[in-house]
């Protein structure tokens, strides 16, 4: 009894402590992408809670109905045949649950990969988000500015983050705006987000990429369109230009604070993507390379033809 009482006290204390915790960021969405994902999470939690409830009820029912009794030691219960309909039921129900969760997951995944509904007619703000050990670089080609370890975005406008890395694989994640996506060194991943409320949201690297990954946090500040334009003009009037030498020093420095520049590193260190917006894995050739390759192949064909003619001529002789 004392042990049960102690467990009850500990459980009650845990409940009291949990009531003081803030709400989870993923369940407090501030944009349509995060809202879609939070709804899927809540739906999945409710589904699993219902399954657990049914299992626990059946478990208690079976323990109660078939508990040990004071029957004679030689008592043998009557033989009971299996039920075909019960077997069909407990096979069908899991199949239905998996099918429903699969449909919800596929539909929500397709929805968050596109520009959020209602914002399709707006031109997205393109921001290149690149990671390095252990920091984030945000390049705004439209405004010709760049920030380090913080990103400002306007509200009610789609933002297309183009993600890549100057080092190990990182994971770009702003929980209150949308799910995570990987930033890799030889390709660009795209992430569409929209902030519908002004505010400061925490962003982080959610992928373990080395000893300093825990410090790869950044602020995503959602501003009204007017305030965002003001900030851009202020940056252009006060910040310095980002040079290739300073960018190289940034990449070599492990930890830096916030920095702002009036130019981007994309001019001298472009993102690893082709002109069509696809991925560049080192196998793309420009026009000169293609012409040179065609010329070499043509010369090789002529050479092979000449050798073949000489061989035929020698055979006739």
Distance CA 208, CA 231 (A): 33
CA 239 to chain centre: 31
Q: What global pTM score does this model have?
A: 0.75
In tens, the pLDDT along 136-159 reads: 999 999 999 999 999 999 999 999
pLDDT at position 307 is 42
Distance CA 242, CA 237 (A): 14
* Helices 84-113 and 32-65, packing angle to 10 deg: 160
pLDDT at position 266 is 96
In tens, the pLDDT along 16-67 reads: 554 444 568 889 999 999 999 999 999 999 999 999 999 999 999 988 887 8
Going by C-beta distance under 8 Å and a sequence separation of 6 or more, which residues neighbour residue 271?
128, 130, 162, 164, 188
| Nearest CA-CA partner of 201 in 159, 255, 259 | 159
Residues of the chain predicted below pLDDT 50? 1, 18-21, 275-317
pLDDT at position 311 is 44
pLDDT at position 304 is 44
């Amino acid at each position: 009894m004392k042990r049960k009482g102690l467990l009850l006290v500990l459980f009650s204390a845990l409940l009291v402590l949990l009531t003081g915790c803030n709400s989870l960021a993923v369940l407090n969405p501030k944009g349509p992408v995060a809202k879609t994902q939070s709804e899927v999470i809540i739906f999945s939690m409710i589904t699993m809670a219902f399954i657990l409830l049914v299992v626990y009820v059946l478990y208690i029912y079976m323990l109660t109905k078939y508990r040990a009794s004071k029957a004679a030691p030689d008592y043998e219960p009557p033989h009971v045949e299996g039920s075909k309909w019960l077997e069909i039921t407990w096979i069908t129900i899991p199949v239905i649950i998996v099918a429903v969760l699969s449909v919800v997951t596929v539909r929500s995944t397709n929805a968050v990969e596109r520009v959020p509904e209602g914002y399709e007619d707006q031109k997205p703000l393109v921001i290149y988000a690149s990671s390095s050990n252990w920091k984030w670089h945000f390049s705004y080609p439209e405004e010709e500015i760049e920030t380090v370890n913080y990103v400002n975005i306007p509200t009610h406008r789609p933002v297309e983050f183009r993600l890549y890395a100057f080092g190990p694989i990182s994971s770009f994640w702003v929980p209150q705006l949308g799910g995570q996506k990987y930033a890799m060194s030889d390709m660009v991943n795209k992430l569409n987000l929209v902030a519908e409320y002004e505010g400061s949201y925490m962003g982080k690297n959610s992928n373990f990429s080395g000893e300093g990954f825990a410090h790869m946090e950044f602020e995503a500040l959602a501003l009204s369109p007017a305030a965002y334009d003001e900030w851009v003009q202020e940056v252009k009037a006060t910040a310095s230009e980002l040079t290739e030498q300073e960018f190289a020093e940034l990449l070599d420095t492990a930890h830096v604070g916030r920095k702002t520049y009036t130019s981007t590193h994309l001019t001298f260190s472009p993102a690893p993507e082709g002109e069509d917006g696809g991925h560049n894995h080192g196998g793309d050739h420009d026009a000169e390379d293609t012409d040179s390759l065609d010329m070499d192949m043509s010369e090789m064909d002529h050479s092979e033809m000449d050798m073949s003619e000489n061989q035929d001529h020698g055979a006739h002789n």
